[in-house]
Structure 1
Amino acid sequence: MANSDHYTDPTGHHINIGAMQDALGPNCAECGRTIIPRASGGTVAEPWQHAMDCSSYRPHPDSIAGQPGYVPST
């Protein structure tokens, strides 16, 4: 899996989707990452905030990996 496909949009621009970690949670039970961005006051779990190897991870919809029909490069 090309990691850059998860952090870049189809035009080649970087997407800033880094998780804001919070020791007080809520955190994913599998990967331990904070799944709601506290800094933005978010209230919806964002599936791209999980670790990439977590079963709950889904690519950001604006990323290359989040585009319909995406096939990872080998």
Structure 2
Amino acid sequence: MAIIDADKVLSDFGEILLSHRKKANLSQRQLAAKCDTEVADIGRYERGEINPTLITIIDIARGLDIAPYLLLHGLK
């Protein structure tokens, strides 16, 4: 069984989130308002500092107007 490198996964998730946020032309503040979360948390997700819950991923995807799986696509 392979061991998951949590730091790598969180970092990769952050890069994917940042990419989608920029494609949506939203600031961290705007995205945070759309998904009813703290601006600081959006930055922490993007930097891979904290692990978002499934509900958070769905909320962020809705704020970005994308399917939630797109935030996970490409993670290994």
What range is the shorter-chain TM-score in?
Answer: under 0.3
Quick check: which one's helix share is greater? 2
Larger Rg: 1
Higher RCO (Cα < 8 Å, 6 or more apart)? 2
State the TM-score, normalized to the length of structure 2: 0.27
TM-score by length of 1: 0.27
